[in-house]
Amino acid sequence: QVQLVESGGGLVQVGGSLRLSCIVSGLKFDDVNVGWFRQAPGKERERVACINWTGLSVTYSDSVKGRFTISRDNTKNTVFLQMNALAPEDTAMYYCAAQNAWKGYYCDRNKYTDWGQGTQVTVSS
């Protein structure tokens, strides 16, 4: 059974930092691409960042480029999202998701088949 568990969310002030973690189990971790997505109340789920199975290809949304960094540790089945210079518009539930790498590398939420339960990030001004 595939399981993704996010952690690291919380309440932070504007300009602060958080590091999210996503632990993946139930599949061969280095065969999957992993993405971070977020959803704010009343809005659609949007992509934040994705990383391919090797860690050599990464994708960021324009809104987080230069502030967020995605990385993975294949020895720990974990993907990280380092978030710096947080702003109120970053407030959302953050989800990680997995995609079989053999299907290609996409940073499109519709291509991801397995999802975690999410971790809340709230940025206060």
- Per-residue pLDDT of 44-103, as tens digits, reads 999 999 999 999 999 999 999 999 999 999 999 999 999 999 999 999 999 999 999 998
Residue 77, C-beta contacts closer than 8 angstroms, at least 6 positions apart: 23, 24, 25, 29
pLDDT at residue 118 is higher than 90: yes
**Burial per residue of 36-66, b for 16 or more beta-carbon CB atoms within 10 angstroms, e otherwise:** bbbeeeeeebebbbbbbbebeeebbbeebee
- Residue 43 pLDDT > 90: yes
Residue 1 clears pLDDT 90, i.e. is over it: no
110 exposure class (CB count in 10 Å sphere: 0-12, 13-18, 19+): exposed
Strand partners, 85: none
Residues 6+ apart with CB under 8 A from 47: 35, 36, 37, 59, 61, 107, 108, 109
Q: d(Cα 107, Cα 102) in Å, to the nearest integer?
A: 14
Task: Please report the pLDDT score of residue 41 as a whole number.
Answer: 93
